[in-house]
């Protein structure tokens, strides 16, 4: 047991914030700006690349997945869809990190979350390309995948498993180990989301460039998470409607 010196008057040289920070950054108080702005930027990029409705050159067939352009568009689609789902983890990371590194912690979490999902998305995109090629129709392939999304909603254990998605993790407070923990937390959170978001993302990647379908799928993924799986039937119905519209 270390001996404590009896406390005297308030220390005349209080420990200053590291790195000369004088005030909390805006990101420290509003860390959700990171994923929200990143997602918004991604949508802007997609609209510019594909046009407002999105039936651009990527609407059917291969868009050169493993070209720089293809990888870039896949990354943009991933951030656009998954960015909002990082809000919970970004907030937890920022608010459980000391104030003088909260903005950095939020950025580290989101970078790891986003990069992990981009890697996952590239793998899914490769599968989607093969799937739609086998069916000889991207629209039909997407319709089938969206129908499977509807069926997946009917799993009664879904709400319980979904609570795992945003489980917090102890983050160390200082130094490189704090950076490592934030990155690990971001990657771990992305990994937990795969079970619930991989199918809609696969459907989205099977019809790249169709921003309307992508917007609907993103909205349903977000609705599913916000309601924590307690609105499975309406969301399943919405997926089913999209599948039927695509099939017709």
Partner 1 sequence: MQQLPASDPRRWDYQPAIHRAYLTKRPSGAPWGTGQNASWFFLPWHRMYLFAFENIVRSLLPEAERADWALPFWDYSSGAPANALPPAFRVPTLPDAMRNPLFVPARRASVNSGAALPSTVTDVATALAETHFTTTDLGASVGFGGPRTGFARHPAAFGGIQARPDGPVHVQVGGAAGLMSDPNTAALDPICWLHRANIDRLWEVWNIGGGANPTERAWLDRPFRVRIADGSSTRMTARGVLDTVTQLDYTYESLPVNTGVRKRPPRAPKLGRPLLIGINHDPVQIGRRGATAHLAVTPVPEQTTGAGPGRLHLHLTDIDGSTNPGVVFGVYLDLPDDLLITALSDNHSGCLSDSSFDPARVDRRADHLAGVTAFFGIQDTDPAIAAASRREPEGMRYSFDITDLADRLRARDEWRTDALTVTLLPVAPDDEPESLATDGTAPIRVGTFSLYQG
Verify binding: residue 158, partner 1, rule CB under 8 A. no
Range in contact with partner 1 (rule: CB under 8 A) among 21-29, 52-60, 138-146, 212-220: 21-29
Q: Does 23 bind partner 1 (CB under 8 A)?
A: yes
87 binds partner 1 (CB under 8 A): yes
Taking residue 17's Cβ as centre, other Cβ atoms within 10 Å add up to 14
How far apart are alpha carbons 36 and 94 in whole angstroms?
A: 15
Applying CB under 8 A, what is the total number of residues that bind partner 1?
45
* Separation CA 223–CA 106 (nearest Å): 23
- To partner 1, the closest distance from the beta carbon of 38 in angstroms equals 17
**Position 1 contacts partner 1 (CB under 8 A):** yes
The one among 41, 96, 111, 122 contacting partner 1 by CB under 8 A? 96
Closer by beta carbon to partner 1, 50 or else 97: 97
Exposure string (b/e) for 145-166, b if CB count within 10 Å is 16 or more? bbbebbebbeeeebeeebeebb
Among 37, 151, 226, 244, binds partner 1 (CB under 8 A): 226
Stretch that binds partner 1, among 33-41, 90-98, 112-120, 180-188 (CB under 8 A): 90-98
Query: Distance (Å, rounded) from C-alpha 12 to C-alpha 15?
Result: 9
Contact 194, 118 (CB under 8 A): no
Residue found under tokens 């689609």: 77
Contact region for partner 1 (CB under 8 A) — 42-50, 65-73, 94-102, 201-209? 94-102
Closest Cα partner for 213 from 28, 80, 63, 44?
A: 80
* Cβ neighbours around 173 below 10 Å, total: 12
Site for partner 1 in 97-126 (CB under 8 A): 97-100, 102
Judged by CB under 8 A, the stretch of 41-49, 132-140, 157-165, 202-210 that binds partner 1 is 157-165
**Judged by CB under 8 A, does residue 191 bind partner 1?**
no
CB neighbours of residue 229 within 10 Å = 20
Please compute, for residue 145, the number of CA atoms within 13 A of its CA located in the half-sphere on the CB side. 27
Quick check: helix, strand or coil at residue 233? helix
Task: Please identify which residue in 3, 19, 134, 156 interacts with partner 1, judged by CB under 8 A.
Answer: 3
Decide if residue 18 touches partner 1 (CB under 8 A). Answer: yes
Q: CA-based angle 228:105:75, to the nearest 5?
A: 65
Residues that bind partner 1 (CB under 8 A): 1-4, 6-11, 14-18, 22-24, 28-29, 87-88, 91-92, 95-100, 102, 160, 163-164, 166-168, 170, 172-174, 225-228
């Amino acid at each position: 047991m270390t001996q404590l010196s009896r406390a005297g008057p308030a220390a005349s040289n209080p420990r200053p914030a590291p790195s000369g920070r004088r005030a909390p950054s805006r990101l420290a108080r509003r860390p959700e700006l990171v994923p929200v702005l990143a997602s918004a930027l991604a949508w802007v990029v997609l609209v510019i690349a594909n046009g407002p409705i999105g039936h651009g050159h990527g609407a059917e067939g291969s868009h050169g997945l493993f070209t720089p352009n293809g990888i870039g568009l896949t990354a943009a689609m991933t951030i656009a869809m998954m960015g909002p789902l990082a809000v919970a983890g970004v907030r937890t990371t920022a608010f459980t990190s000391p104030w003088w590194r909260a903005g950095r912690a939020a950025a580290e979490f989101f970078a790891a979350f986003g990069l992990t999902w981009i890697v996952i998305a590239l793998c899914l995109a490769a599968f989607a390309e093969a799937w739609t090629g086998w069916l000889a129709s991207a629209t039909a392939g997407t319709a089938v995948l969206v129908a499977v999304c509807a069926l997946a909603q009917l799993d009664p254990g879904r709400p319980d498993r979904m609570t795992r998605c945003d489980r917090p993790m102890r983050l160390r407070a200082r130094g490189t180990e704090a950076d490592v923990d934030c990155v690990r937390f971001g990657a771990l959170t992305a990994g937990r989301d795969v079970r619930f978001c991989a199918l809609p993302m696969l459907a989205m990647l099977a019809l790249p460039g169709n921003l309307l379908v992508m917007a609907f799928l993103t909205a349903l993924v977000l609705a599913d998470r916000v309601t924590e799986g307690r609105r499975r039937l309406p969301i399943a119905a919405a997926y089913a409607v999209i599948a039927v519209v695509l099939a017709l």
